[in-house]
Each structure stands twice: as C-alpha cells, then as structure tokens.
C-alpha cells in the first residue's frame, strides 16, 4: 500500500494522520455510528455498521481513511444492505477486529483504483444464514488484507472478486463455503491479480465453494482443500495463460466431501502431496486440459485415497508428480486417471501404483504420454488395477519395473496403436497376485528391455492379438512352483519377440498358444523354447488351439529349438493350415500331439517322449534332407504320418495305431523298429520305404506301393490276412541290397519285382499268404561287389519262397536283365513246387562288342577267351554298364608297357644331341684331347590319340665323353646314365627306367662342310606299377624287365661366315631300334605276361643354326640358336603283346610318337681360358599331340 505517512493502531488511542490532505469520506443512509459532518478526511468509529436495518452507503475516496478499533458490519441485519467503496490512491478502510460483508443482510465492499482495506482479524463475506456478501478488489494497486481467517460464504452467500491486478492477503485460513448453508465464490482474474493466504485454503469447507482463477490471476496458500468436510462441495477452475494456484503444502480435492478442480487453457497448479478423494464417501475430480496447462505435484499423489478420485489430463495438459503416485490407494477406494490427447503428459519420477489396496484405473489414449520410474498394477491383496493404453501415439514409459498383479488383480491393455515401454516386467508377481496383459491391434507395442515373467509367484496371462507386438529379452511363463501362466499370440501381425530364450513352465504350469497367424520369435530365430524345465513344471505349447478345442489357424514359432525339460512337457498341433512348416528342433523328454491340420516338421528332432497323431497329418520333411523324430508314434484312425525327404533316413521307433502312414518323399525311409502292432494302411507314394535292415524291422497293416515308388528291406511287412500290393509302376526290391524279406500276409505285384544278387546269394521274398504276380516285371540288378567269388553255375536261386499251400498266381510279364552277357531263366514251380527260382546262361554277346577303342577291343577278346570261373571273366560277365566295361578294359589292358617302349625310343635323342653338339664345337679348338660333360633334364606331355591315354614324362641324365684328333678326324668315346619316369594317370599306371649309355663318335671338316657320325647303345631297367580298380576286382600289379636301344646317326652341315656370325644349314639322319624283353607281372589274377617286342624308326631333321662369337672384357662368349623340322618314319605307335593267365595273347598300343615336330634351341657358352668352357641351353620340341622341354649344362676341358 502507498501511504504518505505511517498509520499505527494503538489499543485505545487515536489514529495519527497528516493534517494537510484533501481526502473525503461520504456516507449516506443507514450507518452507525453517525458520521461527522463533512469535510471529513479521517473517521475512526469504534464499531461501524453500514446498513444496520436499512440501506447504507459509505464512500472513501481520494485518500480518505476510515479506521476504527473495533469491527465493521456491512448489511448487519436481515433485510439491510450496506455498501462500502474504497477508491483512490491511499484511500483506506480498516478495522482492528473482524469485518462482516453481509452479516445478516446484504453487504458489498468495493476496493478499486489503488484503494486499500485492512481487516485486523476475521473477514466474513456472507456471515450468517440468509446473508449475501460481495467483496470486489479491482485494479492494480488495490489491496485487501485480513489478519486472521477469511470465510467467503460463511453461513450465507459470499463472493470475492479480485481483478485487474488487485491483491488480497490472508494471514490465517481461508474457507470458501464454510458451513453447510454457506455458498462461497471467489474469482481471481486478470494478469497481476493475486490472492495470498499464509495458511490453508478450503474451497467448500462445509458448504459449497467455488474458486475461479482466470486470465492470469494467481492464488497461493499453504494447504489446499476442495470439498473439505462431509457434505461439502468445492469447485476450482484455473484457466488461462499465467493463471495459477500455488499450494506450498498438500492439496486435497474431495477430502470428506465432493471436490472438483479444473486447470485449462494454460493454467498452472502446484502443491506438495496430493489427495483426490481422500476419505470414504469423498469424491474428487481433477482435470488438466489444454496446451500449456500444468500440474506440478511435488510430493505423493493419491487418486482415490480412501474415497473416489478422478484425474483427467487432456488436450495437451501436463501433470508432473515427484513422489509416489497411487490410484485407488486404500481398500474401498476408487481411482481413475485418464491421460488423453496429443501433447498431454503425466510424468512421475517415482513409482506409480494403479490399484494400491483399492480399485485403480489408468487410461492413456488419443496420443497421451505417461511416464513413471516403476509401475505396479493391482498392488495389495484384494486390490484391482487396470491400465489401458490405446490409440496411435499413446504411450506409457514404465521405467525400471512393471508389475501387473503384484498381490492383487492387475490388468494392462495396450490397443489400437498404443505403446508401453519397461525394463523388467512381472505378470502375477506374488502369491495372491493375478495379472493380465493384453496387446491388441495394429501398431500396438509393448517393449521390455529386460525379462518378462508371466506367472511368477502368482498367476498371469499375456494376450497378443491382431497386430499387437510384445518384445523383451528372456521370458518365463509359469515360473513359481504351483503357479500358472498363459500366453496367447493370435491374429495376423501379432508378434511376441524374445531376444533371449523363452521358458514355458519353469517350476509351475504354463501354456503358450500361437494361433491364427501370430508369431513368437525367440533369440532372433536361434534361441531355445524351454518347456517344463523343472521336475515340478507342466508346460504346454499349442500351435493353433489347445487340445480339446476346435482347431484354428496356426501361428509361427521362430526358434532354433524346443527343449523339453524334467517336467511334463507337451507340444500340441491343433490348427487348420494345410501345409504348416515347423522348423525348430525338438529335444528332451516330452510329448508331441497332433490333432488337426497338416504340420511339416523340418528339424531333426531327438525328443524321447511320445508322439500321438490323433488327427490331421504330421509330415516329416518338406522334400529336403531334414525332418525326423526318434520317439514311438501312435497314429489314430483319423491321423496320418507322412515322410517327405529326399535323402536316406532311418527310423528306429515303433509305429502303432490304425491310421495312415505315407512315404511321400523321393528319398529312402528305413524302418528298423518292431511296428507289428500297426494295423493301419501304409502308402508308398514316392521314393523308397525300406522295412528292416539286417532282418530287424517290422511293419504291420496293409501296404500299397504306387507308381514310381519302391518297397524294400529285409524285415517283415504286412499282417496276416492283409495285402501287400505293388501297383503298376511300383517297385518291390526286397533285401535292401541282398537279403530276405518276409510278407506276413498276401503278396500282390502288378508292378516290378527287383532282385539283387551277390556271390553270397540273391534277394529272396518269403510270403506266408498268397502270391499273385500277374503281369509283373522281374527286374534283375546283378552288380555284385566281389564278383571273383560268383559263378553263374551256382543256381538255381530262389527269389520267392511261397510258404502257403497254393500255387503262384500268374507269371512275370517281362524280365529285365541288366547283365550284358548273361540271360536269366525263371521257373514258377521251383523249390518245393510252388516257389519261383532263377538260373543264368551265357548269351552270344561278345565282350569286345561293347568296346570302342582298339585297345578295349583287344582286351575284351583276350578276356572272352578265358574259361568260365576265371575271376576276370566273372567280373566282366556280370557287368551291366557298358561304360564300366570299357573302363575295366582300359585298366586291364596293361597299356603302360607299350607306352614305356615308345618313350625309350623317343629319349634316344638326348645322347645323340649331346654327341653331335660336341663334334660341332670340337672343330674350332686347338686342343688335341678334350674331356666333356653334358647334363640335362627334360619334361614332356603326350596327348591321347583316342585309344591310348595321355602321359607325362620326366627325365634327367649325365653324359661324359673323351675325344682327340686323329688326322683330319675328331674321334671319341662316351658313356652316361639317365633316369626316366612315365605317368599315365587315366590308367593309374607308372613306369620308371634307368639307362646306361655307351658309344663311339667321330667327325671331320672339309672347309666349310662338316660331317658328324655316331653309334650309341643304351641298356634299360624298367619297373612298372599299375592299379586296377574295376567293379568286383582290385589290386596293384608290378613288373621288372630289361630293354635296350641302339642307334646310328650322321649329320652333314655347311657353314657360312658373315663377320662374327656363322650360319649352318644341316641335315641329320638317325636310325633307332628298341627292344623290350619278356615280363611277367605280379599281384593277382589280373597280372599280365608280356612277349618280347621291338620298335624301329628313322628320324630325319632339317634345320638352320645361327652362331655368334665375341669377347666381352676378356671372356669369350658364344651363342647358338637353332630351328628345325623333324620327321619320323617307321614305328611311331608302340605295341606290346600280353595275355592273362590261362588266356590267349592280345596286342595293345601305347601313346604314339609324333611324326612331325618343330624343334627350337637356344644356347650360350663362356670360355674359361684357352682350354675350357661351360655352357647351358634350352631345347623345345612341339607337335600336334604334345610338347617336350629340355635344359642342359655343358663342361668342356681340353688338354
């Protein structure tokens, strides 16, 4: 307040004021005491009554002051009215004691234009029943202060209006609507308008109260109460930007009565602890709505403490709660919180409880966002909590721990695109807890960064449907002993994503149902679903519906493994899908039950429990190489077991029941268990069904083999009186290779009976009932692994042993014999008169007739001349594949022996070249006697000519010589040693030869014309090794024998000189003769004996040499190049004549030599003084069928 002096009230004293002021106090009407005569600047009535029993008016303006030591009553008596107006700067209306504005009548106090009113103690606006009071404080600088309690609508009707920047200060408590008859209204409006109470404020203390804070008005107090006492009603509205209600302590909306609080259009509310619906019977409602509207609750907040509480945060409103937030705190309480609209938020930095001990409901919708550190729904025993998050962009962030059904009944519903995030979640936490979580609708999500437990120490359920999604790390259902948990994932787009493992029944009972397109992912598809983990656990996984329920569409379980534990675990398939793929591997000890639909297992399952097909189709494999079970399988009358694999698979379990067993895949299924109790129908649709291995294996019931399928094995098929039928196009191949199979009932074959044979015997079929083979085909597959022990005179062989008395019905319509060189003979009355037996006779197809090459033809003729029973003859006679026959001829031919002779003849060029080079270099030296050494290494490849195979050859040698001058002739002697290796990979053959050389040579020079001659001889030691691997025979054959090569050669050359370069055209002619001695191989019945053979050839070479000699830094250097053409007359195809033991001779050709070759050479020499030189060279030979490369080193010393 603005004063020019200080006014002080002293008890029983006068009021001191400045004398020189031009203020005025004007009174009219009924006022006691009477006002002094004007002009009047200060009036100090002891007790002032304006409107004692009639109407009275007091106007204090222009700085006038009315200040009395007593009380002031405006509208003192019933029917009276009193009005006081305080207007103008420093105008004052003051009492030391209380003031009634509308005591029993009607009172009005107007403070405006910077006027001031001070009430020393109590201020009553509408004091007694029937009274009406109105206080208006208006305008910036206008002020009302009271020193004690203020009541607006004490027992009557009262109103307080604070507007346009005015202020009101209350020292003690403020009550709007004090008694049960009181009706109070307070309005604080306008920017800068404020009402400050230094104690509590009650809106509707015992009666009806309203507080409106609008357009920037502000109210502050300590505690705040709206609907304080039983029967009271209170309403508060905080509306508009800048409007605020600040409670420095607790705020109660509906303490014992009914309270309503609205914060809208940017208003602000603050307090410490909050109670909405505090006591039993109380009702409290709070609404925070519109963008910019806020509620800051700096302590705990109870919505429905013991009564009924409602909180709505909507349309962009925001509520912030610092401490615990409880909805439905105590038993009997009801709390409802609705968070609605985009931009609306409720942030709790502590824990939130929905249904503490009472009933609590939290709804987040239409884009609202809520957050708490922890969230617990249904906390105490007997409580009920419900959380619903629904609508696009609606979400609740639950912080660290989310508990649904702690000890009470808790429900979480996420639908229509809502979302919830949390870390660790428990559904059904404690013993009495019951939790339910529902996530439904497209884009509805629940994200847990930690574990999710459904049924911990309580019972819990999780439902994910119609596009909803739940994600978490690991998860457990039915964790506590004796507890129950259930999860349902159903509907297109419904997903439960577990980044870790999932346990269905940790210690308690649990059910996981995946249906109608729902999807459960575990470990990114690489995790484990544990079922009934502990001995006390009972776990069930349903694909589709539960057992006993009507089937529905299947869902998918994306995991690597379903692992049964130590408890009672079951995997149920009860769906309507026609081709449902289930790829996880099933392990452990549990049961698989199939009730409806078609399920395809593609994992290689090892679980040891039972498998029951009560209905529908259980299929193992999907046309690939996986899909299996190991347990026994019960197939009920409406059930089907189907095998669809492309590879071999062995089933050692037991089949039982009266349903259908279908071998569908293109692979082979082998049954080794005793399934004699199976009394259903087996259909072999594709692939092969093998019943029995080594005699173990039985399959009862009726069997049908369809077109393109095969039945085989060495066990027992069928039941007494039942038919085993091979339909047209079907194949029966008893024995599983070679063996015996038993038909327990009747045998009907309209397809093919395939019989395999070995030296030990032949497939046989024992039939205990009737036999009908009318029009069937007998297909003989005789390709024994060891033919050396087989003799075709061992027959007859029994192929069907009919043990019943009747004769065989019908006969084979055709007999397919796969053997090239033997024909079968079938007897339908063999054995004891009603058996089918088989014999073989040699046909007129010559062995050589299937050969293609000359070597194959020759070898085939040689083998055909062997006697019956010879191992080689038996091997070829029992062959069914022409390619294999030809391959066998190639291996048996001994081709390496001929090829080795050709190599030796060709290698004669190495010593011939060395001697010729020596004679060329000898003329041009001035030494009488010279010693030389020539080392060489060469490698070559000769290609096949379509008869003999390609070869690779390596050779190396060292040659020495000594020569001297004899008149015009240079003559000398030479010797040396070489080593040669030959490999013919396509014939698995090698040859090694060591050779000693000796020879004489000489040459002369007539001017530029030179003549060089030589006679050389070589002795060879040859070792051969070849491996034969043909069907039925194998072995390694070796031989050692000698050979020799003799050659004579001559060369005529003419030298042309051009400076330091010499050109030398030349002609070289050589005749070579090679002889190979007899040999005999060792190594078994395939060994060959070879005759002595010879080979002769004449070789002419025409070419041009270019030679240059010069000196570099005192060292003589000579370089030589050569190019030439070589032609061979005579034997270029080596041949060798062989025979087998007890056989006739046959001749084999080896890899041929080339008739025409291109020769190139490059060489250099360095002089080492006058009498010595060293050199090196490369020589290449190229022809259409091969190439040869050689490197040499030369040392020459003269003396």
351 close to 344: Cβ distance less than 8 angstroms: no
pLDDT confidence bin for 878, thresholds 50/70/90: confident
| Residue 21 pLDDT exceeds 50 | no
| Residue 14 pLDDT exceeds 80 | no
Distance CA 59, CA 72 (A): 14
Q: 3-class DSSP state for residue 916?
A: helix
DSSP letter assigned to residue 587: E
> 133 is written with which tokens?
């009071």
| Residue 596 pLDDT exceeds 90 | yes
* Lowest-pLDDT range of 301-315, 358-372, 925-939: 925-939
- Residue 185 phi, psi dihedral angles, 5° rounding: -135, 130
277 close to 333: Cβ distance less than 8 angstroms: yes
Q: For 1082-1102, write each residue's pLDDT tens digit.
A: 999 999 999 999 999 999 999
Q: 3-class DSSP state for residue 343?
A: coil
The predicted model gives 626-632 an average pLDDT of 96
Q: Mean pLDDT across the chain, nearest whole number?
A: 92
Give me the pLDDT at residue 794, please. Answer: 66
Sequence-distant (≥ 6) Cβ neighbours of residue 818 within 8 angstroms = 779, 780, 781, 782, 783, 880
Per cent of the chain over pLDDT 70 is 96
The predicted model gives 764-792 an average pLDDT of 79
| Residue 23 pLDDT exceeds 70 | no
The predicted model gives 5-16 an average pLDDT of 26
Neighbours of 675 (CB within 10 A): 26
Q: For 1037-1050, write each residue's pLDDT tens digit.
A: 999 999 999 999 99
Give me the pLDDT at residue 604, please. Answer: 95
Distance CA 98, CA 678 (A): 106
- HSE, side-chain direction, 13 A CA sphere, residue 590: 32
Give me the pLDDT at residue 487, please. Answer: 98
Number of helices (H), then strands (E), belonging to the chain: the values are: 5, 112
The predicted model gives 829-855 an average pLDDT of 90
Intra-chain end-to-end CA distance of the chain, in Å: 144
Give me the pLDDT at residue 20, please. Answer: 28
pTM above 0.75, yes or no: no
Distance CA 949, CA 934 (A): 32
- β-pairing verdict for 99-101 and 72-74: parallel
Q: Which of 345, 354, 287 is nearest to 316 (CA)?
A: 345
72 close to 50: Cβ distance less than 8 angstroms: yes
Distance CA 979, CA 341 (A): 98
Q: Give DSSP secondary structure letters for 666-678.
A: SSEEEE-SEETT-
> 836 is written with which tokens?
């089918």
Give me the pLDDT at residue 3, please. Answer: 22
Give me the pLDDT at residue 18, please. Answer: 34
- β-pairing verdict for 989-1006 and 969-984: antiparallel
599 close to 573: Cβ distance less than 8 angstroms: yes
Q: Which of 452, 472, 339 is nearest to 403 (CA)?
A: 452
Angle (CA) 355 361 362, round 5°:
115
- β-pairing verdict for 814-817 and 1056-1058: unpaired
| Residue 749 pLDDT exceeds 70 | yes
Give me the pLDDT at residue 877, please. Answer: 86
| Residue 865 pLDDT exceeds 90 | yes
Burial 824-849 (b: 16+ CB within 10 A, else e): bebebebeeebbbbbbbeeeeeebbe
Residues 329, 333, 339, 345: what is their CA dihedral angle, to the nearest 10 degrees?
A: -30
Give me the pLDDT at residue 831, please. Answer: 87
Return the CATH superfamily for domain 891-1198: Autotransporter beta-domain (2.40.128.130)
Q: For 51-88, write each residue's pLDDT tens digit.
A: 999 999 999 999 999 998 999 999 999 999 999 999 99
137 close to 164: Cβ distance less than 8 angstroms: no
Give me the pLDDT at residue 971, please. Answer: 95
Give me the pLDDT at residue 924, please. Answer: 52
Distance CA 1099, CA 1079 (A): 29
Cα distances (Å, whole numbers) of residue 415 to 44, 513, 614, 760, 858: 72, 20, 37, 75, 88
Q: For 198-209, write each residue's pLDDT tens digit.
A: 999 999 999 999
- HSE, side-chain direction, 13 A CA sphere, residue 704: 12
| Residue 15 pLDDT exceeds 70 | no
989 close to 1024: Cβ distance less than 8 angstroms: yes
Give me the pLDDT at residue 1067, please. Answer: 96
Give me the pLDDT at residue 825, please. Answer: 85
Q: Give the residue, 1031 or 132, on which the prediction is more confident.
A: 132
Distance CA 491, CA 738 (A): 54
Q: For 212-246, write each residue's pLDDT tens digit.
A: 999 999 999 999 999 999 999 999 999 999 999 99
Q: For 1136-1166, write each residue's pLDDT tens digit.
A: 999 999 999 999 999 999 999 999 998 888 8
Strands (E), 139-197: 143-146, 150-152, 157-163, 167-170, 174-176, 183-189, 194-197
Q: Give the residue, 479 or 786, on which the prediction is more confident.
A: 479
Give me the pLDDT at residue 787, please. Answer: 47
Distance CA 44, CA 947 (A): 147
Burial 790-806 (b: 16+ CB within 10 A, else e): bebeebbbbbbbbeeee
Strands (E), 545-605: 556-558, 561-564, 568-574, 580-582, 585-587, 591-596, 598-601
Q: 3-class DSSP state for residue 736?
A: coil
Distance of CA 596 to the CA centre of its chain: 28
Q: Which of 450, 449, 451, 514 is nearest to 488 (CA)?
A: 514
Give me the pLDDT at residue 1196, please. Answer: 66
| Residue 8 pLDDT exceeds 50 | no
| Residue 1072 pLDDT exceeds 60 | yes
| Residue 1080 pLDDT exceeds 60 | yes
Distance CA 797, CA 790 (A): 13
Neighbours of 522 (CB within 10 A): 26
Distance CA 650, CA 668 (A): 8
| Residue 140 pLDDT exceeds 60 | yes
| Residue 490 pLDDT exceeds 80 | yes
Per cent of the chain over pLDDT 90 is 82
Q: 3-class DSSP state for residue 895?
A: helix
Q: For 780-833, write each residue's pLDDT tens digit.
A: 877 654 444 556 556 788 999 999 989 999 999 999 887 889 888 899 998 898
The predicted model gives 904-928 an average pLDDT of 84
Q: Give DSSP secondary structure letters for 416-478.
A: TT-EEEESEEEES-STT-EEEEEEESTT-EEEESS-EEESSSSEEEEEEETT-EEEESSEEES
Give me the pLDDT at residue 760, please. Answer: 64
- β-pairing verdict for 1079-1080 and 1088-1090: antiparallel
Distance CA 493, CA 69 (A): 81
Cα distances (Å, whole numbers) of residue 174 to 130, 186, 976, 1099: 21, 11, 134, 137
- Residue 306 phi, psi dihedral angles, 5° rounding: -130, -15
- β-pairing verdict for 681-684 and 746-749: unpaired
- Residue 320 phi, psi dihedral angles, 5° rounding: -125, 130
Q: Which of 597, 538, 546 is nearest to 564 (CA)?
A: 538
Give me the pLDDT at residue 1, please. Answer: 25
> 217 is written with which tokens?
């008005």
């Amino acid at each position: 307040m603005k004063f020019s002096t200080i006014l002080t009230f002293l008890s029983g004293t006068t009021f001191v004021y400045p004398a020189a002021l031009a203020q005025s106090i004007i009174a009219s009407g009924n006022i006691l005491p009477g006002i002094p005569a004007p002009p009047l600047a200060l009036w100090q009535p002891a007790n002032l009554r304006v409107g004692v029993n009639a109407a009275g008016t007091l106007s204090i303006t222009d700085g006038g002051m009315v200040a009395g030591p007593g009380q002031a009553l405006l509208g003192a008596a019933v029917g009276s009215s009193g009005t006081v107006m305080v207007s103008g700067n420093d105008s004052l209306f003051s009492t030391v004691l209380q003031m009634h504005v509308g005591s029993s009548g009607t009172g009005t106090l107007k403070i405006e234009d910077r006027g001031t009113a001070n009430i020393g103690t109590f201020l009553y606006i509408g004091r007694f029943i029937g009274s009406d009071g109105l206080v208006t404080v208006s305008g910036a600088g206008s002020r009302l202060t009271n020193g004690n309690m203020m009541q607006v609508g004490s027992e009557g009707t009262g109103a307080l209006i604070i507007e346009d920047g005015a202020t009101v200060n209350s020292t003690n408590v403020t009550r709007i609507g004090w008694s049960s008859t009181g009706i109070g209204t307070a309005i604080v409006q306008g920017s800068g308008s404020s009402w400050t109470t230094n104690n509590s404020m009650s809106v509707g203390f015992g009666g009806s109260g309203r507080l409106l804070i609008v357009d920037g008005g502000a109210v502050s107090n300590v505690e705040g109460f709206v609907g304080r006492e039983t029967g009271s009603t209170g309403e508060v509205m905080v509306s508009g930007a800048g409007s605020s209600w600040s409670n420095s302590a607790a705020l109660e909306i509906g303490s014992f009565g009914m309270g309503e609080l609205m914060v809208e259009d940017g208003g602000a509310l603050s307090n410490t602890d909050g109670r909405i619906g505090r006591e039993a019977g109380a009702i409290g409602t709070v609404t925070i709505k519109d963008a910019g509207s806020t509620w800051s609750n700096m302590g705990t907040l109870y919505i429905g403490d013991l009564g009924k509480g409602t909180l709505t945060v909507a349309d962009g409103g925001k509520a912030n709660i610092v401490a615990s937030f409880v909805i439905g705190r105590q038993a009997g309480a009801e709390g409802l919180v609705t968070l609605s609209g985009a931009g609306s938020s409720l942030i709790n930095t502590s824990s939130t409880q929905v249904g503490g001990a009472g009933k609590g409901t939290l709804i987040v919708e239409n884009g609202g966002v809520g957050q708490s550190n922890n969230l617990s729904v249904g906390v105490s025993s007997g409580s009920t909590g419900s959380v619903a998050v629904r609508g696009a962009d609606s979400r609740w962030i639950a912080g660290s721990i989310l508990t649904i059904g702690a000890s009470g009944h808790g429900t979480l519903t996420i639908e229509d695109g809502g979302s919830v995030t949390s870390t660790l979640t428990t559904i059904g936490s404690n013993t009495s807890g019951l939790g339910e979580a529902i996530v439904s609708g497209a884009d509805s999500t629940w994200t847990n960064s930690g574990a999710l437990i459904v049924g911990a120490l309580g019972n819990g359920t999780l439902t994910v449907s119609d596009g909803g999604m739940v994600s978490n790390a690991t998860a457990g259902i039915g964790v506590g002993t004796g507890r129950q948990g259930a999860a349902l994932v159903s509907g297109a787009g419904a997903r439960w994503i577990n980044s870790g493992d999932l346990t269905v029944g940790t210690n308690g009972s649990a059910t996981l149902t995946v249906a109608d397109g729902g999807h459960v992912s575990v470990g990114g598809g690489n995790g484990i679903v544990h079922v009934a983990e502990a001995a006390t656990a009972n776990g069930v996984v349903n694909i589709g519906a539960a057992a006993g329920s009507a089937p529905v569409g299947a869902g998918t379980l994306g995991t690597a493994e379903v692992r049964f534990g130590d408890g009672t675990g079951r995997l149920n398939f009860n769906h309507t899908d026609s081709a449902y793929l289930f790829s996880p591997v099933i392990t452990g000890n549990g049961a698989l039950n199939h009730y409806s639909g078609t399920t395809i297992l593609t994992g290689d399952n090892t679980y040891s429990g039972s498998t029951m097909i009560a209905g529908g189709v259980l299929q193992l494999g999907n046309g690939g190489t996986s899909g299996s079970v190991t347990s026994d399988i019960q197939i009920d009358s409406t059930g089907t077991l189907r095998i669809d694999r492309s590879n071999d698979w062995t089933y050692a379990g037991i089949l039982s029941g009266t349903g259908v067993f279908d071998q569908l895949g293109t692979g082979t299924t082998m049954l080794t268990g005793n399934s004699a109790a199976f009394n259903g129908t087996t259909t072999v649709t594709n692939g092969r069904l093998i019943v029995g291995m080594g005699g173990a294996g039985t399959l009862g019931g009726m069997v049908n083999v369809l077109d393109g399928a095969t039945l085989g094995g060495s066990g027992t098929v069928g039941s007494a009186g039942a038919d085993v039928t091979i339909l047209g196009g079907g194949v029966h191949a008893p024995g599983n290779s070679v063996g015996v199979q038993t038909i327990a009932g009747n045998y009907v074959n309209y397809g093919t009976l395939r019989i395999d044979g070995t030296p030990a015997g032949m497939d046989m079929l024992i039939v205990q009932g009737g036999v009908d083979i009318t029009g069937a085909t007998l297909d003989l597959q005789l390709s024994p692994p060891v033919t050396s022990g087989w003799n075709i005179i061992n027959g007859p062989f029994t192929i069907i042993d009919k043990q019943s008395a009747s004769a065989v019905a019908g006969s084979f319509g055709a007999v397919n014999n796969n053997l090239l060189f033997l024909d079968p003979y079938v007897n339908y009355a063999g054995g004891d008169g009603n058996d089918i037996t088989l014999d073989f006779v040699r046909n007129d197809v010559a062995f050589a007739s299937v050969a293609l090459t000359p070597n194959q033809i020759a070898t085939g003729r040689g083998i055909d001349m062997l006697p019956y029973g010879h191992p080689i003859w038996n091997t070829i006679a029992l062959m069914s594949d022409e390619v294999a026959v030809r391959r066998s001829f190639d291996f048996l031919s001994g081709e390496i022996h001929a090829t080795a002779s050709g190599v030796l003849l060709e290698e004669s060029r190495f010593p011939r070249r060395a001697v010729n080079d020596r004679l060329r270099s000898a003329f041009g030296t001035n030494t009488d006697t010279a010693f030389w050494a020539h080392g060489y290494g060469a490698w070559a490849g000769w290609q096949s000519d379509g008869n003999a195979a390609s070869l690779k050859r390596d050779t190396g040698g060292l040659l020495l010589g000594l020569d001297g001058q004899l008149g015009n002739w240079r003559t000398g002697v030479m010797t040396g040693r070489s080593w040669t290796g030959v490999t013919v990979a396509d014939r698995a053959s090698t040859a090694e030869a060591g050779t000693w050389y000796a020879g004489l040579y000489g040459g002369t020079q007539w001017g530029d014309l030179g003549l060089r001659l030589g006679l050389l001889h070589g002795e060879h030691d040859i070792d051969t090794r070849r491996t034969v691997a043909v069907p039925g025979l194998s072995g390694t054959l070796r031989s050692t024998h000698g050979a020799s090569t003799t050659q004579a050669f001559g060369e005529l050359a003419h030298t042309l000189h051009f400076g330091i370069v010499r050109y030398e055209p030349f002609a070289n002619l050589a005749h070579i003769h090679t002889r190979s001695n007899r040999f005999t191989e060792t190594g078994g019945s395939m060994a060959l004996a070879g005759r002595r053979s010879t080979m002769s050839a004449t070789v002419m070479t025409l070419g041009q040499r270019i030679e240059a000699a010069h000196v570099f830094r005192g060292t003589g250097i000579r370089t030589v190049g050569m190019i030439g053409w070589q032609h061979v007359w005579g034997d270029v195809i080596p041949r060798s004549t062989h025979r087998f033991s007890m056989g006739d001779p046959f001749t084999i050709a080896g890899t041929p030599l080339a008739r025409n070759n291109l020769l190139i050479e490059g060489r250099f020499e360095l002089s080492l003084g006058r009498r010595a030189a060293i050199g090196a060279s490369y020589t290449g030979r190229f022809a259409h069928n091969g190439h040869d490369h050689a490197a040499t080193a030369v040392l020459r010393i003269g003396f």
